[in-house]
Structure 1
Amino acid sequence: MKKRILILFGLYIFTFTNPSYSQTRELGGVGEMLDGVIAIVDEGVVLRSELNNRIDIVIENIKLSQESLPPEQIAPMPPLSILEEQVLEQLILQEIQLQRAERFGIRVNDEMVNLTLSSFAEDLGLSLDSLPEALLLQGINYNAYREETRQRMIIEQLQQRDVFARIIVSPREIGLCLQKSSVSLAEETDYNVSQILISLPSNPSQADMTNAQNKIDEIYKSIEDGIDFSQLAITYSDGQNALDGGSLGWRKGSQLPTLFNEDVINMEEEEYSQPIQSASGFHIVKLNEARGVTEVIIDQIRARHILIQPNEILDDDATQQKITEIRNQIINGDDFSTLAQALSEDNASAAEGGDLGWVEPGIFVPEFDEQLNQLNHNEISQPFKTRYGWHIVEITDTRRYNNTEELKERSCVDQIRGSKAEEELELWLRRIRDEAFVDNKI
């Protein structure tokens, strides 16, 4: 289970309870106090204990990632000094974001944390009540784990507010995406990619540019010499996924940062790019794996309904009686569409004779879906109640529908937004880092 926990929760700080976490720790042969301040970040601090805990998680994850590799492919562990530098930068960025979230009043309550931890426990085949004991068996303190989960959720809300919510996808961008996609969704591809980023400050000097260029060139040469890409990412990359070996995970082609979208699409698996320059720095990207996507065929129904809602004049019983009378009128030959236009209180569908259009099962409230699942073609339901009022519904048609093109357009929107998000997040992180006061004690 420890392996699953580490992989699922990534590189968040855990407080371990095993004996190796004593009051001192040897680093480079020098004993250092565990609880010393390692960095001052605006109005907060990063403690040596936080740094040490995070480093241990990183080392454990690196070991786990190498378990399935043959011995000749296992790269040596990066020097502790390199890990210290990388991990401390991650903790500094975390502290900056948490302080920023506090200033904006972003909070995550216990109920929200419980929902997230319940989902996590379910993935492990556990209940929320049994999670603390399971974590303790792995040497992980539940309260610290819970607080780190809360911090992660706060940061996600902050990034949503400051970055993702401000990303706009224009109709023109969607149109261009659809034009470029001359193949069907069945032929589109998902890409598993990794990157190494050497970042630049917000307003780089010529010396900054030269140093970053030289560093990325040295890394590129190391890749050509056969050094493992993920180890180089862990050691040198400034990207937020550096400690995961630079992994960006699975992305649709257009969901990749536009900077290297075309490079990746034209790569073979295990191929890597030349250094690429962007506003945030210099990148090298590697394609780990690619896979195709099949067409999407779904069952759809076409339905129409009439809704009558209780009000000051009609109580619930009277409303039920009225919808029953309307149903009887239809059974006796009156036109459903005409009655819906005249009487239904669902204004959106009433204008269309009660027509709800072609829909997929499962999109309505449970009571409505239950009726649809029971009806035959052209059968009118008995009156039933939902939170909106009393209904009758009829299925007028069914079909097997190729939803590929609609999904393709929806996919374009998601991909463009995702592509912009990756770039905007990197720039935003660099900006708030540059604006913060940081006194690094290492």
Structure 2
Amino acid sequence: MNVKTKLSDRLRPLLLGAALLAATAQAQVRPLDRVVAIVDNDVVMQSQLDARLREVQQTIDKRGGALPPEHVLSQQVLERLIIENIQLQIGERSGIRITDEELNQAMGTIAQRNGMSLEQFRDALARDGLSYADARDQVRREMVISRVRQRRVAERIQVTDQEVQNFLASDLGKMQLSEEFRLANILIPVSEGASSNEIQAADRQAQELYQQLQQGADFAQLAVARSASENALEGGEMGWRKAGQLPPPFDSMISQLNLGEVTEPVRTPGGFIILKLIEKRGGDTQVRDEVHVRHILIKPSEIRSEEETRRLVERLYQRIVAGEDFAELAKNFSEDPGSALNGGDLNWIDPNALVPEFREVMSNTASGELSKPFKSPYGWHVLQVLGRRATDNSEEFRKQQAANLLRNRKYDEELQAWLRQIRDEAYVETKL
């Protein structure tokens, strides 16, 4: 298997939204490099655009799709770089930093998922003409963007107990465990406060694309050329979704499609969306994995800097390694009010209920082992895995799963709205 293809496939689930190898890697210095976009206090360079264009073209070629005209593809890629740049600047202003330790841990995880040691991973990148330093930089950028979204989008989403109960009582809630769908989308955007003429123009564009698809046009090619969704350059690929994760009326429409079919354009708050059903799989598994874990959380504060917080967690880690009781240290030091009095014990928990940073470290820590200190959006942690098990599906799990589905549904909508908002609010001057 080509290593470059394999790494791209493996990296996509790890990092929010983008493939590592479709990276804004720093290109070799060119004497004629120039600015192609001014974005608030930063710029996008021609070398960045060229590097990303090459990677997108390679990805489309491997998929066997036809490339849109170069000027169309350039505009799409530039828009993606602009959105990424805005998010990175937000991360910079918010003080989001990825430490070398976190980055090393992420790179080690990527290597492990590809069945390699870190040294083998370096060699594999080199054989494919990829710089390990550039790969690290792109992973860092993706981690920053993920944390920006976690803070700005996910934390604003609330799911009430009543919403969960209503969902479970609905026909959709009862059937959501049965099937899962691999989807792609095309979005024709409509800005907030758009005039009726603008809405009608977007509707006509969406209907035109729908007719082309009905006549056999390639969905992925149209997504790359015409879609405003953030996954456009991946051919509109959304990955796997349950019906309950989709906003109405897609939640019911998608179940009526055969493989390869598309929905008619549907008006949503963000614009007109067309979905394609690529693949289905059953959801009849009646067990789930649970992990028994305990942790110590230390948070930065006005009187304790980020570095002082990290050093405190490191000292606690060394004390546990030296033989001190984890539970006692958690009771005395942990700043997680939900678990500190229980010695940091989170009991048996579904990994999907945890933030990605915590879940990632937990998944790579063997039962009975202690993790090294790591950072999440909540602060600095050290965790210990006490056991793993598979449990039968229960009413409590169904409630948790329903809450996660509703949260994901709201997240997808909120993310698109937030991306449009930050794009509209940013100063952007393109020079293509």
TM-score (norm 1): 0.70
**1:252 aligned partner:** 242
Alignment partner for residue 77 of structure 1, among 51, 59, 67? 67
- Counterparts in 2 of 1:275 and 1:296: CA distance versus 1, 3 Å: same
Identical aligned residues as a percent: 34
Alignment partner for residue 49 of structure 1, among 47, 50, 54? 47
What are structure 2's unaligned runs of at least 5 residues? 12-18, 291-324, 326-339, 351-361, 370-382
Alignment partner for residue 86 of structure 2, among 96, 106, 122? 96
Question: Larger radius of gyration, structure 1 or 2?
Answer: 1
Deviations 1:10-55 (A, max 9, x none): 26425488xxx7848xxxxxxxx3x210000011000000001001
Contact 1:189–1:290 (8 Å) recurs in 2: yes
Query: How many angstroms apart in 2 are the aligned matches of 1:299 and 1:189?
Result: 19
**1:39 aligned partner:** 37
Q: State yes or no: 1:193 paired with 2:193.
A: no
**2:263 aligned partner:** 273
Contact 1:16–1:140 (8 Å) recurs in 2: no
- Counterparts in 2 of 1:149 and 1:289: CA distance versus 1, 3 Å: same
Contact 1:185–1:294 (8 Å) recurs in 2: no
The amino acid across from 1:168 in the alignment is Q
What are structure 1's unaligned runs of at least 5 residues? 25-32, 67-74, 301-319, 321-345, 350-355, 369-386, 389-398
- Counterparts in 2 of 1:107 and 1:264: CA distance versus 1, 3 Å: same
Query: How many angstroms apart in 2 are the aligned matches of 1:218 and 1:299?
Result: 46
Query: How many angstroms apart in 1 are the aligned matches of 2:53 and 2:249?
Result: 31
Aligned residues between the structures: 345
Contact 2:173–2:244 (8 Å) recurs in 1: no
Deviations 1:306-335 (A, max 9, x none): xxxxxxxxxxxxxx9xxxxxxxxxxxxxxx
Name whichever of 2-11 and 90-99 sits farther off: 2-11
Deviations 1:327-358 (A, max 9, x none): xxxxxxxxxxxxxxxxxxx9879xxxxxx999
Q: State yes or no: 1:13 paired with 2:15.
A: no
The amino acid across from 1:173 in the alignment is E
**2:295 aligned partner:** none
Deviations 1:257-298 (A, max 9, x none): 345212112322222111101111110111111111224247
- Counterparts in 2 of 1:270 and 1:107: CA distance versus 1, 3 Å: same
Query: How many angstroms apart in 2 are the aligned matches of 1:294 and 1:271?
Result: 24
Alignment partner for residue 407 of structure 2, among 395, 411, 417? 417
Q: CA deviation at 1:7?
A: 2.7
Q: State yes or no: 1:122 paired with 2:112.
A: yes
Deviations 1:385-436 (A, max 9, x none): xx99xxxxxxxxxx99632433322211111011111110000000000000
- Counterparts in 2 of 1:116 and 1:22: CA distance versus 1, 3 Å: closer
Q: State yes or no: 1:221 paired with 2:221.
A: no
Name whichever of 107-116 and 198-207 sits farther off: 198-207
**2:337 aligned partner:** none
Query: How many angstroms apart in 2 are the aligned matches of 1:157 and 1:118?
Result: 19
Query: How many angstroms apart in 1 are the aligned matches of 2:172 and 2:39?
Result: 50
Q: CA deviation at 1:153?
A: 0.3
Give secondary structure in 2 for the equivalent of 1:250: strand
TM-score (norm 2): 0.72
**2:329 aligned partner:** none
Give secondary structure in 2 for the equivalent of 1:285: strand
**1:292 aligned partner:** 282
Give secondary structure in 1 for the equivalent of 2:257: coil
Query: How many angstroms apart in 2 are the aligned matches of 1:237 and 1:52?
Result: 20
- Counterparts in 2 of 1:285 and 1:297: CA distance versus 1, 3 Å: closer
Contact 2:186–2:236 (8 Å) recurs in 1: yes
Give secondary structure in 2 for the equivalent of 1:129: helix
Give secondary structure in 1 for the equivalent of 2:229: coil
Q: State yes or no: 1:264 paired with 2:254.
A: yes
Q: CA deviation at 1:367?
A: 5.7
Query: How many angstroms apart in 2 are the aligned matches of 1:181 and 1:77?
Result: 42
Q: CA deviation at 1:116?
A: 1.1
Alignment partner for residue 197 of structure 2, among 203, 207, 211? 207
Name whichever of 75-84 and 3-12 sits farther off: 3-12
